[in-house]
């Protein structure tokens, strides 16, 4: 079985998530919204139709736009939300990220729970 995939906006989001997860998860950075060609390449490269996919975007206009786009393109993907007070995944406390990931059955280091 292929590892789970978490789609995030930027590298700092990826780095923040990597601090807490303990299972083999592929984290993909979109660096903003995706064009059709770039999305199709990502879909094929990472076999997104055959994997458990999670979307963890910022609680801002760009994050909502990305979620909306990915909801259309990857209807099987599950969304992981951070508390709106934190606005950005990169600045969300590690224990908050850990709780959000555990709620989707993604393994995290228990020190953050």
Domains of the chain: 4-105 (3.40.1360.10)
Residues 6+ apart with CB under 8 A from 110: none
Could you read off the pLDDT tens digit of each residue along the chain, which spans 113 residues?
789 999 999 999 999 999 999 999 999 999 877 888 999 999 999 999 999 999 999 999 999 999 999 999 999 999 999 999 999 999 999 999 999 999 999 999 999 99
Q: Which residues pair with 27 in a beta bridge?
A: 6
**Rounded Cα gap, residues 63 and 61, in angstroms:** 5
- The set of residues, in sequence order, having a beta carbon less than 8 Å from that of 86 and lying 6+ positions away, is 59, 92, 93, 96
What integer pLDDT is reported at residue 32 of this predicted model? 75
Q: What pLDDT is recorded for position 1?
A: 79
Q: What's the confidence (pLDDT) of residue 74? A: 96
């Amino acid at each position: 079985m292929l590892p789970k995939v978490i789609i995030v906006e930027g590298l700092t989001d990826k780095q923040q998530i990597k601090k807490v997860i303990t299972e083999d998860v592929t984290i993909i950075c979109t660096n903003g919204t995706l064009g059709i060609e770039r999305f199709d390449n990502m879909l094929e490269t990472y076999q997104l139709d055959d994997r458990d996919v999670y979307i963890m975007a910022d609680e801002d206009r760009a994050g909502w736009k990305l979620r909306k786009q990915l909801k259309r393109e990857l209807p099987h993907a599950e969304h992981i939300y951070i508390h709106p007070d934190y606005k950005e995944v990169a600045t969300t406390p590690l224990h908050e990220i850990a709780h959000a990931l555990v709620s989707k059955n993604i393994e995290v280091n228990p020190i953050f729970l």
